[in-house]
């Protein structure tokens, strides 16, 4: 069984979309293996977004994820480990394109994402590959927090 990390971002939490997002993943037959609410530190986010280091938008992404952008009331992030057959590709298909303006309208990002003041607010992060998932899950969860 493959695992993937999803992070429900502050914009989706503010819009009260958590239930809708989770129900879409459950409809795919994916199991929740771990879940928690997190107030992410800058250090954690820089490690998570290490692939964006050196880009001109990484600081904006981190600021957004910390809730320090556009008046988000706090910087809660809901982190989940989802498990199931081809979990990474199935979650990515349900999310749609990273850029919500290019996402199909029936996908989560197509329905709930936007670009505001140059910052992509795409509701959910999902691991891009099984290798990314392994690295990201280790950043966000201790081994004992993930159900066997």
Pair 68, 123: CB distance under 8 Å: no
Separation of alpha carbons 146 and 57, rounded Å: 32
Residue 141: φ, ψ to 5°: -135, 140
Known catalytic residue at 48: no
Give me the residue label for tokens 């050196």: 54
Catalytic residue among 9, 92, 109, 125: 125
Please tell me the distance from the alpha carbon of residue 147 to that of residue 83, in angstroms, as a whole number. 10
Closest CA to 95 of 16, 33, 5: 5
Looking at the annotation, which residues are catalytic? Answer: 125
């Amino acid at each position: 069984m493959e695992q993937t990390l999803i992070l429900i971002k502050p914009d989706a939490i503010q819009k009260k979309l958590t239930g809708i997002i989770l129900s879409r993943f459950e409809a795919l037959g994916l199991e929740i293996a771990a879940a928690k609410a997190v107030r992410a530190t800058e250090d954690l986010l820089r490690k998570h977004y290490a692939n964006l280091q050196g880009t001109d938008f990484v600081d904006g992404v981190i600021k957004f994820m910390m809730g320090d952008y556009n008046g988000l009331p706090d910087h809660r992030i809901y982190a989940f480990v989802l498990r199931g057959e081809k979990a990474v590709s199935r979650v990515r298909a349900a999310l749609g394109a990273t850029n919500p303006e290019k996402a199909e309208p029936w996908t989560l990002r197509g329905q709930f994402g936007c670009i505001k003041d140059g910052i992509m607010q795409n509701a959910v992060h999902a691991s891009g590959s099984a290798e990314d998932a392994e690295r990201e899950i280790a950043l966000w969860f201790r081994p004992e927090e993930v159900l066997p």
